[in-house]
Amino acid sequence: MTDSKRVIIVGGGHNGLVCATYLAKGGKEVIVLEAANEMGGAAVTREFSPGFKVSACAHLLNLLDPTIETELALKSHGLRLAKTNLKTIALAEDGNHLQIDGNRVSGGGVSDSDTTALVKYRRRMDRFAKLLGRLYSRKPPRIGVSNPSDLFGAAKLALDMRLLGREDMREFLRIAGINIYDILEEYFDSPLLKGALSFDGVLGTHLGPRSNNSVFTTLHRMSGRIGGKQGALAYPAGGMGAVTAALAAAAASKGVTLRTASPVARILVDGDRVTGVELEGGEQISADTVVSNADPRTTFFKLIGARNLDAGFVRKIQHIRMRGNAAKLHLALKTLPTFTGVEPDQLGERLVIAPDSAYVERAFDHAKYGEYSSSPALEITIPSIHDASLAPDGQHVLSAIVQYAPYELKGGWEAGREAFTNVVLDQLSRYAPDIRQQITHTELLTPADIEREFRITGGHWHHGELALDQALMMRPVPGAAQYATPLSGLFLCGAGCHPGGGVMGHAGRNAATAVLSGGSR
């Protein structure tokens, strides 16, 4: 006996929680099943050393959908930003740093022409990012069908692009598919500025600045409006776990049942439709609708099984590029570290080690061959400066994203972890010479760890590489890109769907709309 009102959500990540809440608002009886002991998926704040807490994966909030924030009243459920409009400090080894604050740049010996160029660059990129952001809050249109809503969606896409005006539309079409390296060469002279901006296009991806699609990923990163400002960055108070805690509170307030420590072993299938799920403990829960927050490969291969799917569809899922290439470094520190030339009031900003775009590209070169570079690029934050709850009094946590750490490291991560950790710490020490003395605990999460701990195939943040060939109506694959899947009653709501990864919530919200409207694909 199944229940047509009941919806099971597999995975309590941010998208799963967003989807659950909208479904509950739409009159569904929703159960969220999370494998871990707390809700949040990869967006959690967790203790990594006694008294030291840190956002386990993403550590800055930039893409959370303001519509969701309002509609789900996240502020009243406890969401607070500890710091908004973070500046980026592009670190130089000699201490002559460069500071980027929106479209203003200072220090680092930057020229007047670069200062002017950044205003131009941001104006254009913000417009394009805004256009992209508009696509994110609706399901992508299908191609080759005559359904009115798909035709309307496609027309809207074309119209939005046309409304950029002739010149900007041409520029958008010119650059959307190419690489950020070339674009930055067109605008800027300063290697430090180009390095920092190119890094924005490759964070969390398997791309170098010279890889095509890195303009697209740059725009993706700039598409958010956190704190009301296009492309801004913020620290959520309490870390990323506080964002999902607010989402969980919103879900609970709408009557969603939240179950932790409930890993789903498989989604039950009867002929052509899903009938519920079976937990690893053997418990079965029936439902006519199952929404998976897991990545597409986990959903279709592990939870559904290839034998319930058509072979051509399985091949497409198999071919999704989703090998993670970013590691996460967490340090427990006795005191605030000193970075050469960085003023104490700058330490709470976003610090970037990417001295020039060729440096980032060279770091990526190694990753292509399953190696790590001895000179990795880093995004460093010290969130305890803004949020004392993260570390014991006077002590601090450092959270850094390290590019690149190939998922398939030659020789494996078990063997390579310690040497890589040392490489990263050596690199940090070049900019913060006394840092090693301050470390009381070190944690390095490789893509293999992220895969294991957060059950993301390949340990890829975005549940699949973010690239034009895996975007819009091709994300994750045609035939499942409108949140509905080939199996009746099965929907996707994770970052593997349009519009992709980052703590955004769009996929969850769009998926709920698809479920409530019956879901065509």
Partner 1 sequence: MKNLTKEHFHTHLYPSPFHSRTEPLNKLNQWGRWKGYLSADAYTDISMEYFASRNTCGVFDLTPMTKHLITGPDALPFLNRLMTREVSKIKPGRVGYCVWCNDDGRVIDDGTLFHLREGVYRLCSQEPQIDWLLTSAIGFDVDIVEDTHDVAALAVQGPTSCAILRKMGLNGLEMLKPFGIEHYPFEGTELMVSRTGYTGDLGYELWIDPSHAEALWDRLFAAGQDYGIAPMGGEALDLVRVEAGFLLAGVDFLPAHEAIRPDRTRSPFEVGLGWLVHLDKPHFTGRRALLEEKRRGSRYNFVKLDIDGNKTAEHSFILDKRENYVGTVTSAMWSPSAKANIALASLEAPHGKVGDEFLAEVYYQRELKWHRVLAPCRVIDGIFFEPARRKMTPAPNF
Binding site for partner 1 (CB under 8 A): 271-272, 301, 305-315, 318, 479, 486
Q: 3-class DSSP state for residue 290? A: strand
Q: Which is nearer to partner 1, 72 or 290 (CB)?
A: 290
Q: Which is nearer to partner 1, 166 or 307 (CB)?
A: 307
CB 317 → partner 1: shortest distance, Å? Answer: 9
Q: Which structure tokens are listed for 517?
A: 């409207």
Nearer to partner 1, 101 or 310 (CB): 310
Cβ proximity to partner 1, 259 vs 521, nearer residue? 521
Q: How far is the CB of 266 from partner 1 (least distance, A)?
A: 13
Identify which of residues 161 and 306 has a Cβ nearer to partner 1 in the complex.
306
CB-nearer residue toward partner 1: 144 or 228: 144
d(CA 391, CA 418): 25
Q: What DSSP character marks residue 77?
A: T
CB of residue 272 vs partner 1: minimum separation in angstroms?
Answer: 6
- Report CA-CA distances (Å) from 301 to 110, 120, 309, 431: 51, 46, 9, 44
Beta bridge partners of 52: 49
Q: In what order do the strands lie in the sheet with 264-270?
A: 264-270, 273-279, 284-286
Which residue, among 4, 133, 12, has the nearest Cα to 64 in the 3D structure?
Answer: 133
Which three-class secondary structure state does DSSP give residue 216?
helix
CB nearer to partner 1: give 309 or 402: 309
- Neighbouring CB atoms inside 10 A of 24's CB total 22
The CB-of-478 to partner 1 minimum distance in angstroms stands at 11
Q: How far is the CB of 479 from partner 1 (least distance, A)?
A: 8
C-alpha span between 203 and 404 (Å, rounded): 9
The CB-of-274 to partner 1 minimum distance in angstroms stands at 13
Q: How far is the CB of 155 from partner 1 (least distance, A)?
A: 24
329, 444 in Cβ contact below 8 A? Answer: yes
- Burial label for 301, CB within 10 Å (0-12, 13-18, 19+), is middle
Q: Residue 429 or 488: which CB sits closer to partner 1? A: 488
Q: How far apart are CA 482 and CA 142, in angstroms?
A: 8
Nearer to partner 1, 314 or 472 (CB): 314
Dihedral in degrees, nearest 10, Cα atoms 191, 195, 201, 204:
170
CB-based contact 286:487 (threshold 8 Å): no
CB of 319 to partner 1, least distance (A): 10
We find the least distance from the C-beta atom of residue 4 to partner 1, in angstroms, to be 21
Q: Cα–Cα distance between 184 and 133 in angstroms, integer?
A: 22
Cα–Cα dist 466/476, whole Å: 10
The number of beta carbons lying within 10 Å of the beta carbon of residue 297 is: 20
Angle at 284 between CA 283 and CA 288, to 5 degrees: 160
